[in-house]
């Protein structure tokens, strides 16, 4: 009897070794190498997504004919926006998020909306039985004869059902439960995830069926499994939010058919997820009036301006090293902006603890929020509130200058829509665009000028 060959595979990065090692040479993590039996070689041409034995010849790129394929749109405009205008036929998308955040709920609602448009949908659940999926469907009010549910984890059976039903949309929930019999390792391992995703990609591209894959996440928040998984798919979406809060954010971190800066906001209700069409009102509805350390910034999330409140609390430190903590923005930005305020404005902040928070749970990463953060820190330190009808936009340089930002016109229009009266922005952004009649735009060149204008005396 032939001896079975084994190898050790890192469960984080997919590095393979002939012997066990405590530390993976590929990613540097400890105790991630797991013993797996090497898969037997498959016969030539044996694929699950169809027989593609025909030899393909290279073509000149100028001779390839292209046509604009219509996207599949859902009833959720927020979902369509994140994907770049709708679902692309033949695309393979990965959606990840914390357990219980609402990934299955979102995809079941999307499946129901497509089925209501007379498009056959196949929902494959590897974690729940068909009855459990039916209970969720009843709660969400899903009733469509073209929505088919299958509780299966064998990749071969899944491929056969897709070939028989020929659906227009497929959901795999989740990829960590699917396995191939030819791969001698447990479901969820690096080898199984890689092979099953590869077969699903062949099915999606070969038959033109869009497939959405649900992926588990690690405790650090990254997609579980090899990084190769995110490289293989066409789009990677993260479903973010706190389980104990009602708002959820769908954010694209990779999209071959659209922008990766778009964001969709949903509200978790008893009957499922409901899209939030005007998130600025949601983020500002509980803002305290006349409180020191509170400012509002107009941030761009893709093509959409969002008004968000930034809160700062500055207090004398009780330790030798003052604390710098931030929620919703990069923590490394806080010491940088505080150093600018200390050096260029003259605020003595080296013995002060700083706590910065973006209200509403949204995460901001663009440089245009620098001025609002700096003003909120100065407002809390001086105990001088900002005017409630003011908005601050601008990037702060190390010399204390306020630099220009992109899409200033959209930011100002969003501020006018919500009733704000003044926008303090970089002076270099003035001119070349029309200002709404209800808003006064004030240009500043330095942080000191912004504080003189924005802080109440």
**Based on the number of CB atoms within 10 Å of its own CB, is 29 exposed (0-12), middle (13-18) or buried (19 or more)?**
middle
**Based on the number of CB atoms within 10 Å of its own CB, is 231 exposed (0-12), middle (13-18) or buried (19 or more)?**
exposed
Name every residue whose Cβ is closer than 8 Å to that of residue 199 and which is 6 or more positions away in sequence.
Answer: 47, 48, 49, 155, 159, 180
Helix axes 103-116, 130-140, angle to 10 degrees: 70
CA–CA–CA angle 185, 187, 191 (5° rounding): 55
Is 99 among the annotated ligand-binding positions?
A: yes
What distance, in Å, lies between the first and last C-alpha atoms of the chain?
Answer: 88
Is 103 among the annotated ligand-binding positions?
A: yes
Of residues 226, 384, 374, 368, the one with CA closest to residue 306 = 368
Give the phi and the psi of residue 365 in degrees, each rounded to 5: -135, 10
For strand 147-150 and strand 169-173, is the pairing parallel, antiparallel, or unpaired?
A: unpaired
Is 100 among the annotated ligand-binding positions?
A: yes
Is 104 among the annotated ligand-binding positions?
A: yes
Q: How far apart are CA 236 and CA 248, in angstroms?
A: 16
Is 86 among the annotated ligand-binding positions?
A: no
Q: How far apart are CA 326 and CA 315, in angstroms?
A: 14
Backbone φ/ψ region at 49: left (φ over 0), alpha (ψ -120 to 50), beta: alpha
Provide the 10 A C-beta neighbour count for residue 42. 12
Q: What is the 3-state secondary structure (H, E, C) of 378-413?
A: HHHHHCCCECCCEEECCEECCCCEEECCCCHHHHHH
Is 346 among the annotated ligand-binding positions?
A: no
Q: How far apart are CA 111 and CA 150, in angstroms?
A: 13
The DSSP output letter for 176 is G
Name every residue whose Cβ is closer than 8 Å to that of residue 226 and which is 6 or more positions away in sequence.
Answer: 12, 13, 14, 190, 193, 194
Binding region for ATP: 97-104
Binding region: 97-104
């Amino acid at each position: 009897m032939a001896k079975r060959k084994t190898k050790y595979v890192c469960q984080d990065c997919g590095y393979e070794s002939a012997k066990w090692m405590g530390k993976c040479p590929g990613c540097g993590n400890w105790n991630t190498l797991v013993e797996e039996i090497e898969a037997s070689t498959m016969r030539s041409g044996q694929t699950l997504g169809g027989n593609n034995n025909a030899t393909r010849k290279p073509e000149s790129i100028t001779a390839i004919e292209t046509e604009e394929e219509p996207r599949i749109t859902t009833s959720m405009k927020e979902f369509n926006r994140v994907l770049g205008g709708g679902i692309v036929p033949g695309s393979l998308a990965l959606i990840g998020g914390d357990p219980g955040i609402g990934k299955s709920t979102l995809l079941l609602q999307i499946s129901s909306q497509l089925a209501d448009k007379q498009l056959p949908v196949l929902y494959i659940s590897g974690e729940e039985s068909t009855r459990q999926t039916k209970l969720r469907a009843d709660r969400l009010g899903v009733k469509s004869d073209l929505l088919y549910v299958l509780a299966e984890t064998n990749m071969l059976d899944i491929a056969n059902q897709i070939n028989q039903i020929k659906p227009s949309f497929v959901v795999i929930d989740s990829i960590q439960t699917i396995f191939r019999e030819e791969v001698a390792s447990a479901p969820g391992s690096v080898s199984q995830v890689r092979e099953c995703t590869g077969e699903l990609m062949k099915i999606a591209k070969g038959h033109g069926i869009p497939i959405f894959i649900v992926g588990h996440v690690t405790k650090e928040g990254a997609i579980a499994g090899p990084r190769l998984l995110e490289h293989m798919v066409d789009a990677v979406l993260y479903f973010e939010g706190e389980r104990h809060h009602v708002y959820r954010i769908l954010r694209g971190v990779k999209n071959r058919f659209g922008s990766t800066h778009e964001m969709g906001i949903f509200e978790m209700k008893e009957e499922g997820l409901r899209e939030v069409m005007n998130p600025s009102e949601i983020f500002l509805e509980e803002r305290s009036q006349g409180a020191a350390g509170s400012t509002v910034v107009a941030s761009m999330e893709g093509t959409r301006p969002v008004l968000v409140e930034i809160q700062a609390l500055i207090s004398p430190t009780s330790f030798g090293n003052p604390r710098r903590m931030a929620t919703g923005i990069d923590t490394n930005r806080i010491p940088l902006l505080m150093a600018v305020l200390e050096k260029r404005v003259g605020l003595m902040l080296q013995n002060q603890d700083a706590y910065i928070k973006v209200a509403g749970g949204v995460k901001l990463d663009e440089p245009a929020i620098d001025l609002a953060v700096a003003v909120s820190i100065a407002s809390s330190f001086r105990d001088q509130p900002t005017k409630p009808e003011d908005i601050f936009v601008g990037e702060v340089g190390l010399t204390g200058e306020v630099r220009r930002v992109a899409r200033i016109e959209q930011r100002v229009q969003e501020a006018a829509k919500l009733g704000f009266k003044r926008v303090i922005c970089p002076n270099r952004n003035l001119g070349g665009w029309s200002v709404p009649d209800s808003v006064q735009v004030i240009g500043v060149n330095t942080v000191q000028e912004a504080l003189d204008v924005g802080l109440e005396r």
